[in-house]
Amino acid sequence: MSDETPKTLHHYTDSQGLLGILQNRNFWATDTRYLNDTQELRHGCETMVAALRKAADQQAPAGEDAEAKEAAVARTTALRFTATALARGQLFDTSPHGGAYVTCFCEGGDQLGQWRGYGANGGGFAIGFRTDALAELAHELKPQGDDKATAPLPKPQRVLYHPKDLERRCATVVEKILSFGANAAPFSAGGFDAIYICLPALAFMKHDAFQHENEWRVLLINRTNPNLKFRSGALGVIPYVEIGFPAHAVAEVVVGPGPHPELRKQAVEQLLDSEGYEKVPVRLSTVPYRP
């Protein structure tokens, strides 16, 4: 797996999704509990809990210094509190502590598996986004009343599949929690902050059966009640959040290998022009797939 960040990431969708994304200049970040991977957030949990408990066992203070002992107790308690909360599934069920919402991309813009799974069985489209421009993403929140606040989002990150990669990410999480020091007491702000270090990491861990997707994600963590919207889906009503993007973030559109590709290409070119997207190329899929 390359450590390089691709210049373009693609989001596969059907014609309705293409229209909504390009006309509204936003895409949907879906609550991870409603995605097609039944182990979302849970897959890396066992590895995470083991890493937290191992680190807790290693926090014995050196010497008899009272302050050092107090700090060691605080670190140990924070690690064990976080491990227990994860083991009990505190982040995976309905919780007042918010949740994880993601928008999914992949590295390739013309992948057969993606056309079949997410691109209307070849009749859809892949929208290519400039990765550097995705760093400018913003999410409009309405925390109180009608006032709006624009919150920047983290850059897209690669999803991890290999067990060794999961272990390394968990080790990084432990280091961050330990950096809280004596402030990471259980049931305090520090303790819950420790949980919210784990949550983003878990959102980028998936079963290796999905490895062929080469997935990247933009993640939004909601600690407060977000400006939620709802759509119909396979599980019924699906919560999601809209994430806006700048027009120059769109690098290209790929037309799937479905029927009438030239006509579909011309329609997309007209759509891009009418919506003010400048010099965005539209190309045809080269996958020899007949839906």
Between CA 276 and CA 25 the distance in angstroms is: 11
Residue-wise pLDDT tens digits, 113-127: 999 999 989 999 999
Number of alpha carbons in the 13 Å side-chain half-sphere of residue 288: 0
Those residues with Cβ within 8 angstroms of residue 125's Cβ, 6 or more apart along the chain or in another chain:
12, 13, 14, 15, 17, 18, 119, 253, 254, 255, 256, 264, 268
Q: What is the DSSP string of 195-248?
A: HHHHHHHHTTB--GGGGGG-EEEEEEEESS----EEEEETTEEEEEEEEE--GG
Report the pLDDT value the prediction gives residue 53, as an integer from 0 to 100.
93
- The sign of the CA dihedral 165, 115, 272, 15 is negative
Mean pLDDT of 264-285: 97
pLDDT digits (tens, 9 = 90+) for 125-167: 999 999 999 877 876 655 444 445 566 677 899 999 999 999 9
- Specify the residue for token string 């997207």: 277
SS3 call for 76: helix
pLDDT at 3 exceeding the cut of 70: no
φ, ψ (nearest 5 deg) of residue 173: -60, -45
Instruction: Using DSSP, state whether 58 is helix, strand or coil.
Output: coil
Tens of pLDDT, residues 86-120? 888 766 665 555 578 899 999 999 999 999 999 98
What's the CA gap between 47 and 51, in Å, rounded? 6
Q: Among 200, 85, 210, 98, which Cα is nearest to 153's? A: 200
**Per-residue model confidence as pLDDT tens digits over 179-188:** 765 555 544 5
Region of poorest pLDDT, from 77-86, 178-187, 198-207: 178-187
Q: Checking DSSP bridges between strand 149-152 and strand 138-141, what pairing results, if any?
A: antiparallel
Predicted TM-score (pTM) of this structure: 0.86
Residues 6+ apart with CB under 8 A from 256: 115, 119, 120, 122, 123, 124, 125, 126, 285
Query: Which run of H or E residues covers position 150?
Result: strand 149-152
